[in-house]
């Protein structure tokens, strides 16, 4: 690697330290700083850059404005057997989701299944972070969240659903679990912002202009397309699944009632909901049988025939490869994120994580 290229790469540990220092400087308590940093670093480490450290400046704005409670008191407000409802007290969404998944795995340890509905939360970043947390503990973890409307329906010309992610993590005997982390939109909106920063055109059939027509211009993108292209009705329906679990079942706002993530009001909490589920495999069958089946499934999947010049990958494989590379080389920040870090460092009196 050339010297200039090496300087462009920022080590993950420095990014982690910088984010924690920024949150502390703007008055976030230790649990909030830890959870928000862990979630963003999940995005950056595994190549989900749209939900990585580029969100730091946004979160600081929301905390300082009052949208996000910097010192929340999360509490259980309802429960029955393996079911619990958690009021997050307008906490950062990552703190709410990590806390809920911990509670869900504790319930699953006792009952074989644990389900936690989250009320009064906020943007939580990469949904996969919480399902991965469950999988690392030996549970199947499922995470849902809705967000402010930015995705049209199939053949629609109006923002209706949020990007409404669904994430599933499944433990395996290998080095890493099976991990699905997907928006039910074609791409997340943060990726539109990333492409603007990079000056790159959007992929085909991912965004639409004000009339609902496809556009590759990130500046003309007025809404996102649902997942599926010509078969977008499937993505729109999956967005509805996330909507029902995260908004209807929690009693929180539907996507079209949630205030815009980008403001201009950063003083009013957004009243969002989310939902996590944990399953204990050995509550259903012998652990060795489950592990054997997952091993055979993954081995067969990865070794199945591929098209010429291609390779079949299991969900999560790309992320593990990106993480290994970034642990070695660090991360190249997009220009907008690099500038926002410099501005935060100057404003808060913190050392920048890069030269």
Asked if 275 and 144 count as a contact pair (C-beta separation under 8 A), the reply is yes
> What is the model's pTM?
0.93
- Ranges of the chain with pLDDT below 70: 1-7, 355
Measure the CA angle with vertex 208, ends 204 and 210; round to 5°: 160
pLDDT in tens, 141-152: 999 999 999 999
- CA torsion 73→181→216→311, rounded to 10°? 160
Q: Which of 317, 333, 270 is nearest to 53 (CA)?
A: 333
pLDDT of residue 50: 87
Segments making up each domain of the chain, as ranges: 72-332
Phi, psi of 288 (to 5 degrees): -65, -35
Best CA proximity match to 270, nearest among 31, 62, 16, 32 = 62
Residues 6+ apart with CB under 8 A from 36: 19, 23, 28, 59, 92, 94, 95, 125
Cβ-based neighbour number of residue 173 at 10 Å: 12
Q: Where does residue 26 rank: exposed (0-12), middle (13-18), buried (19+ CB within 10 A)? A: middle
- Condensed to tens digits (0 to 9), the pLDDT of residues 40-77 reads 999 999 999 989 999 999 999 999 999 999 999 999 99
| C-beta atoms surrounding 287 within 10 Å | 13
Q: Which CATH number fits domain 72-332: 3.30.420.40, 1.20.120.530, 3.30.1370.60, 3.40.50.1000?
A: 3.30.1370.60
CB atoms within 10 A of CB 103: 21
């Amino acid at each position: 690697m050339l010297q200039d290229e090496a300087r462009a790469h920022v080590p993950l540990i420095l990014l982690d330290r910088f984010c924690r220092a920024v949150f502390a400087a703007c008055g976030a308590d230790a649990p909030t700083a830890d959870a928000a940093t862990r979630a963003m670093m999940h995005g950056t480490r595994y190549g989900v850059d749209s939900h990585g450290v580029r969100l730091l400046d946004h979160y600081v704005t929301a905390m300082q404005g009052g949208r996000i409670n910097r010192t929340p008191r999360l509490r259980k407000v309802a429960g029955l057997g393996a079911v619990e409802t958690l009021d997050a007290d307008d906490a950062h969404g990552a703190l709410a989701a990590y806390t809920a998944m911990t509670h869900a795995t504790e319930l699953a340890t006792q009952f074989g299944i644990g389900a936690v509905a989250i009320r009064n939360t906020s943007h939580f970043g990469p949904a996969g972070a919480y399902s991965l947390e469950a999988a690392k503990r030996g549970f199947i973890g499922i995470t849902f969240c809705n967000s402010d409307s930015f995705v049209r329906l199939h053949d629609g010309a109006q923002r209706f659903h949020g990007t409404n992610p669904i994430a599933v993590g499944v433990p395996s005997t290998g080095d890493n679990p099976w991990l699905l982390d997907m928006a039910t939109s074609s791409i997340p909106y943060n990726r539109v912002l990333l492409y603007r920063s990079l000056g790159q055109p959007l992929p085909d059939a991912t965004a639409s202009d004000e009339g609902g027509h496809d556009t590759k211009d990130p500046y003309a993108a007025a809404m996102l397309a649902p997942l599926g292209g010509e078969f977008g009705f499937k993505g729109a329906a999956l967005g509805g699944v996330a909507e029902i679990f995260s908004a209807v079942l929690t009693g929180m706002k539907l996507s079209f009632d949630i205030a815009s993530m980008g403001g201009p009001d950063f003083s009013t909490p957004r009243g969002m909901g989310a939902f996590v589920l944990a399953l204990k495999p050995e509550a259903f069958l012998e652990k060795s049988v489950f592990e054997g089946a997952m091993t055979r499934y993954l081995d067969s999947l990865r070794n199945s025939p591929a098209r010429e010049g291609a390779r079949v990958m299991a969900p999560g494989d790309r992320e593990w490869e990106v993480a290994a590379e970034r642990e070695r080389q660090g991360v190249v920040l997009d220009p907008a994120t690099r500038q926002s870090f410099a501005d935060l460092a100057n404003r808060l009196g913190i050392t920048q994580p890069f030269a």
